[in-house]
Amino acid sequence: MAQPLILHGMNSPNVTKVVLMLEECGLEYELRHVAVFKQEQFNPEFLKLNPLGKVPVLQDPDHGVTIAESGAILHYLAEREGKFLPAAQPARAEVMQWLFMQMANFGPLLGQLNHFRLVLASGTEPYAEARYAAAAEKLYRLLDERMSDREWIAGGDYSIADMAMQPWANYLEPHGFDSALYPALVRWRAAVASRPAVQRALARSHEGFTAIAEATRKAASGEDLDKFFGRTDAVPPADFSAVVKM
Ligand SMILES: N[C@@H](CCC(=O)N[C@@H](CS)C(=O)NCC(=O)O)C(=O)O
């Protein structure tokens, strides 16, 4: 009998995208919460799974696979299941381009805006905040234009590129942008959200991650949070709940 997959994670967009794929594929899986605010990602046992000490990590016992990096995990599952990634070119290249676009740009740059606009009170670091707000505006604009004449990001069917991007697109409003100015992005984002697998995924993630994560964040010391955010001096977070809710 097939053994369930194990997903190590927390409630964050990089983890949610993998839960979306697990549900879309109808796979059996177990969620294991990693308390990043309490430094569990730096435990020697976890570092054996991902030497960078970050979630998500997926374990596939039947295939002896342990894999980190959400884009690599989505690609692994797509190949394993033969789903959500076209076999033929040029459609396959298009999906991979948008998957990498998310991994290399949307995740890292929107993540920085999270830090300078949501974790820190807006205005604390004006230069950094303006820099990442400009980068985010460019990316949200790109996504809106991209979605103005197609149903799904890669132009063909719903794919791992949509799953990778959608949880990050939910930051549009928390990042201070007017959703009325991004109608195509908003329509596509809602179409993803309305999929039954997405709704199941969010419910599983809430049950397996959100409540536990919230409790460990509240229990984390200032020093834990400084380490989590890579801060060199103690700056109290403004409202971290706006970030972890996504
Ligand atoms: N590029 C990685 C980023 C993973 C990442 O940044 N994970 C965060 C949570 S979303 C994390 O584990 N943070 C803990 C830390 O950096 O110590 C991916 O997409 O998997």
Mean pLDDT on 173-189: 98
Could you tell me if 141 and 207 lie in one domain? Answer: no
Nearest one of 119, 99, 89, 97 to 18, comparing CA atoms:
99
Average pLDDT in the chain: 93
Query: What pLDDT is recorded for position 128?
Result: 97
* 157 part of a folded domain: yes
Could you tell me if 67 and 137 lie in one domain? Answer: no
Residue 52, Cα to own-chain centre: how many angstroms? 17
Q: Which atom of ligand 1 is nearest to the CA of 73?
A: 20
* 239 part of a folded domain: no
Query: What pLDDT is recorded for position 94?
Result: 98
Q: How confident is the model at residue 215 (pLDDT cuts 50, 70, 90)?
A: confident
- Higher-confidence residue: 237 or 230? 230
Could you tell me if 96 and 123 lie in one domain? Answer: yes
Could you tell me if 165 and 205 lie in one domain? Answer: no
Terminal CA-to-CA distance of the chain, rounded, Å?
35
Cis peptide before 56 (omega within 30 of 0): yes
Query: What pLDDT is recorded for position 46?
Result: 98
Query: What pLDDT is recorded for position 203?
Result: 96
Which residues, in sequence order, are CB contacts of 76 under 8 Å at separation 6+?
A: 58, 60, 65, 67
Cα–Cα distances in angstroms (integers) from residue 184 to residues 126, 176, 193, in the given order: 30, 18, 14
Number of domains in the chain: 2
- 101: domain CATH number? 1.20.1050.10
pTM for the full model?
A: 0.92
Q: Which domain holds residue 109?
A: 91-194
Q: Please tell me if the CB atom of residue 81 comes closer than 6 angstroms to any atom of ligand 1.
A: no
Q: How confident is the model at residue 236 (pLDDT cuts 50, 70, 90)?
A: low
Query: What pLDDT is recorded for position 229?
Result: 74
Q: Please tell me if the CB atom of residue 53 comes closer than 6 angstroms to any atom of ligand 1.
A: yes
Mean pLDDT on 177-201: 98
Could you tell me if 75 and 129 lie in one domain? Answer: no
Mean pLDDT on 111-117: 96
Cα–Cα distances in angstroms (integers) from residue 136 to residues 141, 152, 196, in the given order: 8, 21, 29
* 243 part of a folded domain: no
Query: What pLDDT is recorded for position 78?
Result: 98
Query: What pLDDT is recorded for position 234?
Result: 53
Q: Whose CA is nearest to atom 2 of ligand 1?
A: 69
Q: Please tell me if the CB atom of residue 55 comes closer than 6 angstroms to any atom of ligand 1.
A: yes
Query: What pLDDT is recorded for position 213?
Result: 78
Buried b vs exposed e over 60-90: b needs ≥16 C-beta within 10 Å? beeeeeebbbbbebbbbbbeeeeebbbeeee
Q: Whose CA is nearest to atom 16 of ligand 1?
A: 54
Could you tell me if 113 and 169 lie in one domain? Answer: yes
Q: How confident is the model at residue 219 (pLDDT cuts 50, 70, 90)?
A: confident
Given the DSSP bridges, would you call strands 57-60 and 29-33 parallel, antiparallel or unpaired?
unpaired
Q: Which atom of ligand 1 is nearest to the CA of 41?
A: 17
Biggest alpha carbon distance in the chain? 56
Does residue 2 surpass a pLDDT of 60?
Answer: yes
Q: Whose CA is nearest to atom 17 of ligand 1?
A: 228
Residue 47 alpha carbon to ligand 1 centre in Å: 13
Q: Which atom of ligand 1 is nearest to the CA of 15?
A: 10
Nearest one of 219, 189, 205 to 9, comparing CA atoms:
205
Could you tell me if 184 and 113 lie in one domain? Answer: yes
Query: What pLDDT is recorded for position 243?
Result: 62
Could you tell me if 188 and 203 lie in one domain? Answer: no
Token pair for 200: 């199941």
Q: Whose CA is nearest to atom 15 of ligand 1?
A: 54
Q: Please tell me if the CB atom of residue 56 comes closer than 6 angstroms to any atom of ligand 1.
A: yes
Chain segment 31-67, per-residue pLDDT in tens? 999 999 889 999 999 999 999 999 999 999 999 999 9
Could you tell me if 123 and 161 lie in one domain? Answer: yes
- 35: domain CATH number? 3.40.30.10
Q: Which atom of ligand 1 is nearest to the CA of 54?
A: 12
The strand pairing partners of 68, in sequence order, are 57
Could you tell me if 121 and 175 lie in one domain? Answer: yes
Chain segment 52-105, per-residue pLDDT in tens? 999 999 999 999 999 999 999 999 999 999 999 999 999 999 999 999 999 999
Does residue 235 surpass a pLDDT of 60?
Answer: no
Mean pLDDT on 112-118: 95
Best residue among 7, 19, 54 to mutate for probing ligand 1, ranked by most atoms within 8 Å of CB: 54
Query: What pLDDT is recorded for position 216?
Result: 79
* 236 part of a folded domain: no
Residue 88 alpha carbon to ligand 1 centre in Å: 31
